[in-house]
Amino acid sequence: MMEEKNKDRRRKRKISPEINTETEPKNISISQPKISNSSVAMQSGKPETKNIEEHHHYYESRENKNWKNYLFDFFMLFLAVFCGFLAENYRGDKVEENQANQLAKNFYEELKNDSIIVQTKVEFRIKQENALKFLMKYFKDSSLTNISKAFEINYMYGINFRSPSLFEPRTVVLDQLKNSGSLRYFKNNELQKLIGDLSIAIHNVNDRQKLESSIRIEYINPIDIRHHDYEFNERLSKNGTVSLIKATFDYEKNNEFIPFHFNSIKKFDKVETINALGFVCNSALNSTRTMHFQKYIDVNAELLKVLREEYHLK
């Protein structure tokens, strides 16, 4: 019995270390297992294999290309660039076309308004020329003490008024066309030529009117200062409450009579006055009207015609 017990004890002693080694906790550091690139590649869908396959496909496709394939690729690239170039040109042409249409419309309105104004200026110049001719005849043999209403009206139109005969063309759009380079938007050569002719005509009109002003200062103003009755102006314009031009127009049409006193009759030089009025009438007013005003009118009308035809304006 004792021997059996001893055997049992020895047997237990042999087993217990094994149990202890398995059950006793040990300070074992647990480290994360290293994951190889291949395992990552496998977990993420095998990108390395995919990349290898793509590179292999790329090189394989290059090896399989012949000169026709390269020529086709070049042609497609060239076609893409060329189409882009055409699209850009088309866009630029469209922008220029829209700008040309807008400029043409504005220019047309400017010319159209001036064509109306210049006609009114021409009509007044004819009236002014006739008034000077009337005065020239009147001064030859008519009385300067008993002034007629016809003399008063023609004196005002021929000697006293200046601004109704002045024509000042508007050049806002014209200056924009010349100074900004926008004239290139007008592709019509005839239109470009006429715009140049218009610039010259306007320059000549302005230059002639400056000459007229100097002639007036020298020949007309002395007559007006020496002999005019400025009290007549006050009565005619109702002490300045009505413009003198409008008051004269109204006075011409009604039956009212306002006495006019011709001042400094003794200092009046009949021959000199008649010659001065004739010079102003023929060499200034008539010459400017028949030559320079008419040239502007002709160019203006031709420009309006071309603009209507080219840009379908009304």
- Asked, for residue 52, whether it belongs to a domain, the answer is no
- State phi, psi for 187 to the nearest 5 degrees: -85, -15
- State phi, psi for 258 to the nearest 5 degrees: -115, 120
Q: Is 202 exposed, middle or buried (0-12, 13-18, 19+ CB in 10 A)?
A: buried
CA-CA distances (angstroms) from residue 188 to 182, 191, 256?
13, 5, 57
Alpha-carbon gap, residue 196 to 185, rounded angstroms: 15
Alpha-carbon gap, residue 18 to 308, rounded angstroms: 116
- Asked, for residue 71, whether it belongs to a domain, the answer is no
- Asked, for residue 131, whether it belongs to a domain, the answer is yes
Domains identified in the chain, total number = 1
Q: What is the pLDDT of residues 234-273, one digit of tens each?
A: 999 999 999 999 999 999 999 999 999 999 999 999 999 9
- Asked, for residue 32, whether it belongs to a domain, the answer is no
Q: What is the pLDDT of residues 117-154, one digit of tens each?
A: 999 999 999 999 999 999 999 999 999 999 999 999 99
Q: What is the pLDDT of residues 175-231, one digit of tens each?
A: 998 888 888 888 899 999 999 999 999 999 999 999 999 999 999 999 999 999 999
- Asked, for residue 238, whether it belongs to a domain, the answer is yes
- Asked, for residue 17, whether it belongs to a domain, the answer is no
Range of the domain at 282: 87-311
- Residue 7, pLDDT score: 58
Looking at per-residue pLDDT, the higher value among 155 and 14 belongs to 155
Q: SS3 of 28, please?
A: coil
Question: Would the pTM count as exceeding 0.75?
Answer: no
- Asked, for residue 7, whether it belongs to a domain, the answer is no
DSSP state of 203: H
Q: What is the pLDDT of residues 40-49, one digit of tens each?
A: 444 544 455 5
- Asked, for residue 163, whether it belongs to a domain, the answer is yes
